[in-house]
């Protein structure tokens, strides 16, 4: 059921620029997305598409010194209390949200776990910082969390240092830490990219279980469409800082509308099409200093017409509100 | 083309007395003009095997035969013969070129070592860069001025300049975006037809290996647990580990 009450985060028309020695880089332009409780929303894009930058904006983690939020808002709607607008929030409000109500997991868990702390300490520290709990209570909760992320041998894991754990176990510990302050939202930045497929499958299943059972909204960033297919409820496709297409997962895979989404899907090797060439996209992602005019994808688009380089396509919903596309040829190219 | 027989290799961990068996009695046959896909998870020994095939690593026991002739790794002539016929393309194109040399210098180096004259070298480089879709004029640039996909094309070009018969591709597209990955895979398939090449294609991605290969070998903990005709492995896998890999690999239906 998709009622508006389920919405826990709204990104509306977000634009941001980076000021660099080489000039101003528009990293995200006019981007919108909503997260719902209990659902996994995948944000798909290739490298340089701005997906990580967008996700970092949700916690305002982009370096404040050279990031300029030029427009838009990010609204976090907690289950109790007033909504918080992240981009205008003060530091103390942000601190109360970061890592507790909105937590994050990363691609390489090893790099984000303090190597000189045992898992026990990593878990209890977060809880004691954000929640009013005694050390004993935190430790009890830590044990529950380790069980929740399906790690056996609770005591041994709690007594381990990160380097004593495998990649998959580290990611589970990361998820346990992310869950420790009962978050409303988990931001997962390529959480399975560094893992082997057999481990990946288990971590994705765990994320699904957590979203459903604890009613948490998960924003899953990935470049892998097959991962999206297996785990996401909703999908947004991003290219060069812009939203190309957004839909429920079912609708997107059944009837992808944007030419970019279609080529991306055609580029995934499928053993039932052995011997045929893969769909590929000519050229590379545009250089941030030299962005094409009109539709940002037009120079690489197999369906582009002359007018595509003249005006910027608006993001429009197709019939039902759940499926939206930013393409000047949407009507002509529509496929049910 | 190449036949590995009963290859074993053990690495000792310094100071611990522990050891890892990266290859346990591996036998693998790479017929001429085939694409042999070697698939397995990290640490299974697939990269060690590829390094042994190109002579970067020496097997503890077993034999490697090139076109029916056993290669003796202590014999420089054998090794040089192996390296002329077998070339390798690595996963990360960002670390395979000398950052302080232009691409032209990196590409022609192998030909210089072969003793080829300058005019011939440049012609050969030009012909090949045309085929792989990089403008010859761009070769005056340095590696950092190329994208990942372009660098991977150039790595392939460098390998092909040596006119190998067997190309070892060790995760050649794992660090690339999906759209670029497709470009490189299509290029590799075209080159194979054009030059009549044989590929040893190594990847952790079963669907990718399944897509490109004619024969598949599945490796786990230093052992090949199942090998055979691609269609058979893909559609009637026998070993439980192959089945598990399939069950875990996400796929779009």
> What tens digit of pLDDT does each residue of A98-120 get?
988 999 998 888 888 999 999 99
Residue of B92, B177, B192 to mutate, interface with A, max A Cβ within 10 Å: B177
Class of residue B184 by CB neighbours under 10 A (exposed 0-12, middle 13-18, buried 19+): buried
Residue of B182, B185, B206 to mutate, interface with A, max A Cβ within 10 Å: B182
Cα–Cα distances (Å) from A322 to A190, A250, A318, B53, B170, in that order, read 24, 11, 8, 53, 42
Residue of B43, B93, B132, B178 to mutate, interface with A, max A Cβ within 10 Å: B178
Higher pLDDT: B174 or A309? It is A309
CA–CA min distance A108, chain B (Å): 15
Tokens encoding A153: 């041998």
Contacts of A270 in chain B (CB under 8 A): 207, 211, 251-252
Mean pLDDT of all residues in B134-152: 89
pLDDT, mean over chain B: 90
Q: Which residues of A119-155 are buried (b: 16+ CB within 10 A; e: fewer)?
A: bbebbbebbbebeeeeeeebeebbeebbebbebeeee
CA–CA min distance B186, chain A (Å): 6
Note the pLDDT tens digit of each residue in B104-132: 999 999 899 888 999 999 999 999 888 88
Distance CA B129, CA B251 (A): 35
CA–CA min distance A130, chain B (Å): 37
Q: Which of A225, A253, A278 sits opposite B186 (nearest CB)?
A: A278
CB contact under 8 A, B252 and A265: yes
H/E run at residue B218: strand B215-220
Q: Which of A201, A227, A281 sits opposite B179 (nearest CB)?
A: A281
Q: What is the pLDDT of residue B249?
A: 87
Q: What is the pLDDT of residue A22?
A: 81
Kindly state which CATH superfamily the domain A1-101+184-336 is placed in. P-loop containing nucleotide triphosphate hydrolases (3.40.50.300)
**Does residue A2 register a pLDDT over 50?**
no
CA–CA min distance A49, chain B (Å): 11
Q: What is the pLDDT of residue A61?
A: 92
Q: Which of A223, A230, A279 sits opposite B182 (nearest CB)?
A: A279
CB contact under 8 A, B178 and A268: yes
Distance CA B149, CA B161 (A): 19
Which of the four pLDDT bands, split at 50, 70 and 90, describes residue A204? very high
**In chain A, where are the structural domains located?**
1-101+184-336, 112-180
Q: What is the pLDDT of residue A1?
A: 45
Distance CA A293, CA A326 (A): 15
**In chain B, where are the structural domains located?**
2-94+167-248
Tokens encoding A160: 């381990």
Q: What is the pLDDT of residue A3?
A: 54
Mean pLDDT of all residues in B69-84: 86
Q: Which of B150, B183, B248 sits opposite A198 (nearest CB)?
A: B248
What is the SS3 assignment for B154?
A: helix
Distance CA A257, CA A244 (A): 9
Which of the four pLDDT bands, split at 50, 70 and 90, describes residue B227? very high
Q: Which of A226, A263, A266 sits opposite B251 (nearest CB)?
A: A226
Contacts of B177 in chain A (CB under 8 A): 46-47, 223, 285
Mean pLDDT of all residues in A264-291: 83
Q: What is the pLDDT of residue A321?
A: 67
**Does residue A10 register a pLDDT over 90?**
yes
Query: Locate tokens 């985060």: which residue?
Result: A9
Distance CA B239, CA B72 (A): 34
Note the pLDDT tens digit of each residue in B159-202: 999 999 999 999 998 888 888 888 889 999 999 999 999 999 99
Note the pLDDT tens digit of each residue in A206-243: 999 999 999 999 999 998 999 999 999 999 999 999 99
Distance CA B172, CA B191 (A): 14
Total Cβ atoms within 10 A of residue B155: 25
Q: What is the pLDDT of residue A79?
A: 85
Rg (CA), chain A: 21
**Does residue A302 register a pLDDT over 50?**
yes
Residue of B40, B250, B253 to mutate, interface with A, max A Cβ within 10 Å: B250
CB contact under 8 A, A284 and B42: no
Q: Which of A198, A274, A278 sits opposite B182 (nearest CB)?
A: A278
Sheet holding B35-39, edge to edge: B86-89, B166-170, B198-203, B35-39, B215-220, B223-229
pLDDT, mean over chain A: 91
Query: Locate tokens 């097997």: which residue?
Result: B59
Distance CA B202, CA B219 (A): 10
CB contact under 8 A, A274 and B210: yes
Total Cβ atoms within 10 A of residue B170: 22
CATH number at B2-94+167-248: 3.40.50.300
First to last CA, chain B: 37
Strands A23-36 and B2-12: unpaired
Size of interface A-B (CB pairs under 8 A): 101
Total Cβ atoms within 10 A of residue B114: 14
Give the chain A residue whose CA is nearest to the CA of B243.
A198
Q: Which of A204, A253, A280 sits opposite B252 (nearest CB)?
A: A253
- What ipTM was estimated for this complex? 0.80
Q: What is the pLDDT of residue A284?
A: 75
Distance CA A110, CA A195 (A): 12
> Any bridge partners for residue A135, and if so which?
none
Distance CA B209, CA A313 (A): 38
Cα–Cα distances (Å) from A120 to A126, A144, A173, A210, A309, in that order, read 10, 12, 10, 21, 56
Contacts of A255 in chain B (CB under 8 A): none
DSSP E strands, chain A: 7-20, 23-36, 40-44, 67-76, 84-85, 102-105, 185-189, 217-222, 234-239, 242-248, 316-317, 324-325
Q: What is the pLDDT of residue A282?
A: 80
Note the pLDDT tens digit of each residue in A141-155: 999 999 999 998 999
């Amino acid at each position: 059921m998709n009622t508006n009450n389920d919405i826990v985060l709204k990104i509306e028309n977000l634009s941001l620029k980076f000021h660099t020695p080489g000039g101003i880089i528009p990293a995200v332009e006019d981007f919108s997305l909503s997260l719902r409780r209990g659902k996994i929303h995948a944000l798909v894009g290739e490298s340089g598409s701005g997906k990580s930058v967008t996700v970092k904006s949700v916690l305002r983690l982009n370096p404040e010194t050279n990031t300029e939020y030029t427009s838009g808002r990010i609204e976090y709607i907690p289950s109790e209390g007033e909504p918080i607008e992240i981009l205008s929030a003060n530091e103390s409000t942000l601190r109360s949200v970061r890592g507790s109500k909105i937590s994050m997991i990363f691609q390489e868990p090893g790099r984000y776990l303090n190597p000189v702390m045992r898992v026990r300490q990593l878990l209890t520290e977060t809880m004691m910082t954000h929640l009013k709990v005694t050390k004993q209570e935190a430790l009890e909760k830590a044990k529950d969390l380790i069980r929740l992320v399906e790690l056996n041998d609770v005591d041994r894991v709690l007594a381990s240092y990160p380097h004593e754990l495998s990649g998959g176990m580290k990611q589970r510990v990361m998820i346990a830490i992310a869950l420790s302050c009962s978050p409303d939202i988990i931001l997962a930045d390529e959480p399975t990219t560094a893992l082997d497929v057999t481990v990946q499958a288990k971590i994705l299943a765990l994320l699904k279980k957590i979203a459903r059972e604890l009613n948490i909204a998960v924003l899953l960033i990935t470049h892998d469409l097959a991962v999206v297919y297996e785990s996401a409820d909703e999908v947004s496709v991003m290219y060069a800082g812009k939203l190309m297409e957004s839909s429920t997962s079912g609708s997107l895979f059944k009837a992808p509308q944007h030419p970019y989404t279609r080529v991306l899907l055609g580029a995934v090797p499928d053993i039932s099409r052995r011997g045929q060439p893969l769909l590929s996209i000519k050229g590379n992602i545009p250089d941030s200093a030299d962005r094409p005019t009109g539709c940002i994808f037009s120079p690489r688009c197999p369906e582009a017409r002359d007018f595509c380089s003249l005006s910027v396509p608006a993001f429009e919903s197709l019939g039902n509100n759940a499926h939206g596309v930013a393409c000047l040829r949407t009507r002509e190219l529509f496929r049910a | 083309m190449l036949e590995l027989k009963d290859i074993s290799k053990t690495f000792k961990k310094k100071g611990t007395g522990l050891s890892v068996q990266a290859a346990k009695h591996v036998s693998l046959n790479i017929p001429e003009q085939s694409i042999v896909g070697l698939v397995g998870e990290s640490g299974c020994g697939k990269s060690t095997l590829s390094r042994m095939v190109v002579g970067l690593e020496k097997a503890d026991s077993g034999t490697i035969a090139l076109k029916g002739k056993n290669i003796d790794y202590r014999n420089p002539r054998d090794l040089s013969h192996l390296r002329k016929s077998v070339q390798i393309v690595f996963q990360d194109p960002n670390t395979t070129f000398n950052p302080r040399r232009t691409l032209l210098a990196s590409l022609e180096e192998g030909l210089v070592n072969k003793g080829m004259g300058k005019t011939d070298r440049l012609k050969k480089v030009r012909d090949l860069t045309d085929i792989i879709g990089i403008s010859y004029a761009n070769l005056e640039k340095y590696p950092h001025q190329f994208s990942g996909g372009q660098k991977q094309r150039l790595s392939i070009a460098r390998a092909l300049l040596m006119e190998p018969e067997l190309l070892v591709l060790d995760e050649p597209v794992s660090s690339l975006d999906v759209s670029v990955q497709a470009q490189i895979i299509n290029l590799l398939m075209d080159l194979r037809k054009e030059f009549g090449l044989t590929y040893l294609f190594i990847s952790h991605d079963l669907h990718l290996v399944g897509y490109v290969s004619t024969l598949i070998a599945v490796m786990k903990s230093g052992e090949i647990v199942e090998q055979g005709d691609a269609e058979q492995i893909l559609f009637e896998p026998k070993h439980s580990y192959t089945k598990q890999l399939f069950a875990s690999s996400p796929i779009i239906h």
